[in-house]
Amino acid sequence: MRVIIKNDYDQCSIWAANYVAYRIKSFRPTAKKPFVLGLCTGSTPLGMYKELIKMYKAGKISFENVVTFNMDEYIGLGPKDAQSYHYFMHENFFKHVNIPQANIHLLNGLTKDYAKECKNYEDQIKSYGKIHLFIGGVGSDGHIAFNEPGSSLSSRTRVKTLTSETIEANSRFFDGNKSKVPTNVLTVGIGTITDSEEVMILATGDKKARAIHHAIEGSINHMWPISILQMHEHSIIICDEPATNELKSDTVRYFKEIEKQLRP
Ligand code: GLP
C-alpha cells in the first residue's frame, strides 16, 4: 500500500488529479483500448475533479478514450434530482470535459429490477476487461462506495441499506433533513472495487482519522470495509495531515520517508 500524506486538502486534490492524468496518459488509450476509470462522489473528490477540469481546459489531458463506472446511486433518485449521483457527476465533472456520453456508466436508481441492473453493471465492467483505476472516498465508519460495516469483503454490485451514521453524514446534501435521505442504494461491491488493477482512496479531514487508522494499522475486518485495501496489490491512500491524527507517529514517518526516498 502507498500512503501519500499531504499538508492539506488542496495538495491532496492536486496530487490525485496529477496521478489520474499520469495513469491515463501513460496508458495511451484509444477508442478500441480505452482507459477504464472508476469514479466516486462526495465532498472529498470535488477538488480533484476541479483540477482535472483545469488540466483538460489547458489541453493537458483528454477524456475522449476514457470509460467511467461510478460506484453507487441512491434508489429512487433520477438523473435530474439534484441529490442523485448522476446529477453530481454531470455537474461537477462530465459536462466540463470531453468524455463521450456513451462512455459514462452509472447505476440506475430508478430501475424496477435491481438484480438485473446490478448484474448488467458487473457484466458491463467485465466487457472492458477490468477497471484500471478505481477512485473512492471513505466514510467516517470506513465504508467504501456504499459498502457499510459488515459488508462481505468479496461482495458484488447489489442493493444495500444505509446505516444511521451514513444517513446522518449525507443529510447535509438533503437540507440537513435525515428523513429525506434515501435509505436504500445500489452500490458496487467490495469485490468489484478490489478486482480493479489499482484502487486509490482519498481521505481528508479529522473525521476520517479513525477510518484511516483502521485502514492502515488495523486488521482486515468487515467492520472496517476500507481495511480490505491491505490485501490489494496496488492500493493508494491519499490523506491530509488531519486524517492521519489517529495514526502512530512512527507510521506517519515511515510512509513519508518512503515516498521521499523512492518517489522524489
Ligand atoms: C458517500 C459515498 C461514498 C463517499 C462517502 C464519503 O457515502 N457513497 O462513496 O466516499 O460518502 O463522502 P465525503 O467525501 O463527502 O466525506
Q: Which residue is listed with cell 491515463?
A: 24
Q: In this predicted structure, what is the pLDDT of residue 200?
A: 98
**Backbone angles phi and psi of 231, in degrees to 5:** -90, -5
Question: Residues 105, 70: contact at Cβ < 8 Å?
Answer: yes
Question: Residues 247, 212: contact at Cβ < 8 Å?
Answer: yes
Q: In this predicted structure, what is the pLDDT of residue 264?
A: 46
- Where the chain has pLDDT below 70, the residues are 263-264
Question: What's the distance, Cα to Cα, between the start and end of the chain in Å?
Answer: 17
- Burial zone of 166 (CB within 10 Å; 0-12 exposed, 13-18 middle, 19+ buried): buried
Residue type, 32: K
Q: In this predicted structure, what is the pLDDT of residue 261?
A: 85
Say which of 51, 73, 117, 141 is annotated catalytic.
141
Could you confirm whether 143 is annotated as catalytic?
A: yes
**Backbone angles phi and psi of 10, in degrees to 5:** -60, -40
Q: Is 72 in the pocket of ligand 1 (CB under 6 A)?
A: yes
Question: Residues 131, 38: contact at Cβ < 8 Å?
Answer: yes
- Which residue blocks in the chain are alpha helix, DSSP H? 9-27, 46-57, 85-92, 114-127, 164-170, 190-194, 209-216, 249-262
Torsion, CA 168, CA 105, CA 135, CA 213, rounded to 10: 30
Could you confirm whether 148 is annotated as catalytic?
A: yes
Residue type, 241: E
Residue of 73, 141, 146 to mutate, ligand 1, most atoms within 8 A of C-beta? 146
Q: What share of the chain is helix, strand, coil (3-state, %, to 5)?
A: 45, 15, 40
Say which of 51, 73, 117, 148 is annotated catalytic.
148
